[in-house]
Amino acid sequence: MSVSKQELDEFRQEASAWLEDNNPGNPGFLLPESFMEVGTDQQFEYLRDWQQKVYEAGYLGMAWPEAYGGGGKAQVFQDIVTQEMARQRVPFMTNTIGLNWAGPLILQRGSEAEKQKYIKGILSAEDIWAQGFSEPDHGSDLGSAQVRATRDGDDYVINGSKIWTSLGTYAKYMILLARTSSDGPNKYAGLSFFLAPMKIEGVTPQPIRKLTSEFGFCQTYFDNARIPADCLMGAEGEGWPVAMETLMFERGNVGGQAGGIAMMDVNVNDVLELARRSTRNGKPALDDPLIQDEMVQLLIEAKSNQLMVLRSKIPALAPDYQGAVAMSGKLRGTELKRRFCQFAIKLQGADGARFVSKEAIDGGKWQRLYFNSFSATIGGGTSQIQANIIGERVLGLPKS
């Protein structure tokens, strides 16, 4: 499908104008920065309505097949919309797990019936999706998951609990990794993958209060919850590769996502902008040479991350140690974000001690961002686990 540059330019203008006209704007309360931070019904409804509006205007799932509710257009159209969303900083698409990992997974390996059943609801935000991978005792070590799924007639009976279930109280479905056997040759062999209903007896999402004092995710308890056997995706005992495939979508290693921004982009230039308007101890913060130096260090590091990506694309300048840049991306990116949020608080002088409230600088956004930034340095494998992985797989150091 070839599209002329003129057509794309016109489309960009049209999409940009639509976003400008329809941006829901400031709701009068502090919005979450990502789907992991949705804590109140008010926030959720605002974001769900926004996603629905975007979808109905034809700006979401543009490259997904028309037969299931997508737009059936070339990917490039969706990419343009996503870029414009980021540029205009409109709110993110809240059904993130559905749009970015469950959806593409179902499109790739689901049955016709599954595609008919699930895809449209993902796009319209009518059916919210959650993820059931991590468990209280198995965070970074996902392969050891212990939630049991026991076959009983036409059902599987689920017992145990999953944690960090974002949108848990709103979700209709969950991608669930559960253990159907403990007798396999290794821990991965007994795992199975389900597209599980959440609104059934025996499933209790219990909201957890985060360090920000907000609610944003749940611990989900399964107490003899019966789900139909046809919820199984892939064969019984072969859930691990499906989970890995899901992670490929989650990490953006492969395409196929519905598009739209998944979180509000906050970067080091926003901190620089804050620094320019901040006062510390009665003087412009940037007049302090120590603050200046710290700001410059953060900007250099952000630049390093940007340049590493550029260089690793040049084969002759590829790293001595293969995978060094790609595999350290999460570690570098999330740690840098944590540190610049920390620095943003430091810029505020005594006001740094405020929290989400009218009196706080930017409504307390930076304090909340800093606390929430730990979700990325901890989730998806802690920074310490990342360092182990890089040391072992990239440098070839012996296992810890």
Partner 1 sequence: MSTIEFSEEQAMLLDSAREFAKNESSIDLVRARLDDDRAIPASLWRSIAELGWTGIAIPEAHGGLGLGFSHLVPIVESLGRQLMASPLIWSSIAAHAITLSNNEVLQTQWLPPLANGAIGAVALMEHGGNWNLSAPACTATHDGNNLKLSGTKVFVEDASIADFLLVSVMLDGKPRLILVEASQIDPSQIKREVVIDETRRSFRVEIDGIQIPITNLLGEVDFEEIELAAMLLLSAEMAGGHASTLELVVEYLKTRKQFDKHIGSYQALKHPTVDILIGLEASRSHVYHAATSFDKDQGDSRRLAVRMAKAVSSEGMAFAGDRAIQFHGGFGFTYECDAQLYLRRALWSQQQFGDEVHQRTLLAPLILSKAS
| Per annotation, catalytic residue among 84, 135, 214, 250 | 250
Binding segment toward partner 1, per CB under 8 A, in 74-82, 204-212, 314-322, 339-347: 314-322
Quickly list H helices, the chain: 5-22, 41-56, 75-88, 96-97, 103-109, 112-124, 239-250, 268-277, 289-312, 324-327, 329-346, 365-378, 383-389
User: What is the closest distance, in whole angstroms, from the C-beta atom of residue 291 to partner 1 in the complex?
Assistant: 10
Residue 319 binding partner 1, by CB under 8 A: yes
306 contributes a contact to partner 1 by CB under 8 A: yes
DSSP state letters, 344-370: HHHTTGGGGG--SSTTSGGGGHHHHHH
DSSP-derived letter for residue 143 is: G
Tokens representing 24? 């829901």
286 binds partner 1 (CB under 8 A): yes
Q: Nearest Cα to 219, choosing from 144, 164, 146?
A: 164
Q: Which stretch binds partner 1 (CB under 8 A): 15-23, 60-68, 318-326, 373-381?
A: 318-326
CB atoms within 10 A of CB 251: 12
Minimum CB separation from partner 1 for residue 310, in Å?
A: 5
Considering beta carbons, is residue 208 or 324 the nearer one to partner 1? 324
Pick from 295, 347, 360, 361 the residue near partner 1 by CB under 8 A.
295
Q: Is 269 exposed, middle or buried (0-12, 13-18, 19+ CB in 10 A)?
A: exposed
In the set 56, 57, 293, 353, which binds partner 1 (CB under 8 A)? 293
Number of residues that bind partner 1 (CB under 8 A): 46
The contact pattern for partner 1, residues 25-54, with x = CB under 8 A and - = no contact, is ------------------------------
CB of 284 to partner 1, least distance (A): 11
Is there binding between residue 308 and partner 1 (CB under 8 A)? Answer: yes
Non-local (6+) Cβ contacts of 220 within 8 A are 130, 132, 161, 162, 163, 165, 168, 174, 198, 203, 204, 205, 206
Please tell me whether residue 304 binds partner 1 under the rule CB under 8 A. Answer: yes
- Nearest Cα neighbor of 193 from 140, 156, 221 is 156
CB count, 10 Å around CB of 2?
5
In the list 195, 261, 325, 361, the residue contacting partner 1 (rule: CB under 8 A) is 325
The answer to whether 219 touches 136, Cβ cutoff 8 Å, is: yes
Q: Which residue lies nearer to partner 1 by CB, 19 or 336?
A: 336
Which of residues 213 and 322 has its CB atom nearest to partner 1 in the complex? 322
For partner 1, what does the binding mask look like between residues 344 and 363, x meaning CB under 8 A?
A: --------------------
Among 1, 314, 350, 358, binds partner 1 (CB under 8 A): 314
Read off the DSSP letter of residue 93.
P
Catalytic site residue 301?
Answer: no
Rule CB under 8 A: choose which of 148, 332, 346, 354 binds partner 1: 332
**Neighbour tally for 50: CB within 10 Å:** 21
Closest to 72 in 3D by CA, of 58, 82, 85: 58
Residue 211 makes contact with partner 1 by CB under 8 A: no
Say which amino acid occupies 298: L
Asked if 299 interacts with partner 1 (CB under 8 A), we say yes
Q: Is 269 in the site for partner 1 (CB under 8 A)?
A: yes
Distance CA 222, CA 294 (A): 48
Q: Which residues bind partner 1 (CB under 8 A)?
A: 269, 272, 275-276, 286, 289, 292-293, 295-297, 299-301, 303-304, 306-308, 310-312, 314, 316-317, 319-321, 324-325, 328, 331-332, 384, 387-388, 390-392, 394-400
Q: Which residues are catalytic?
A: 250
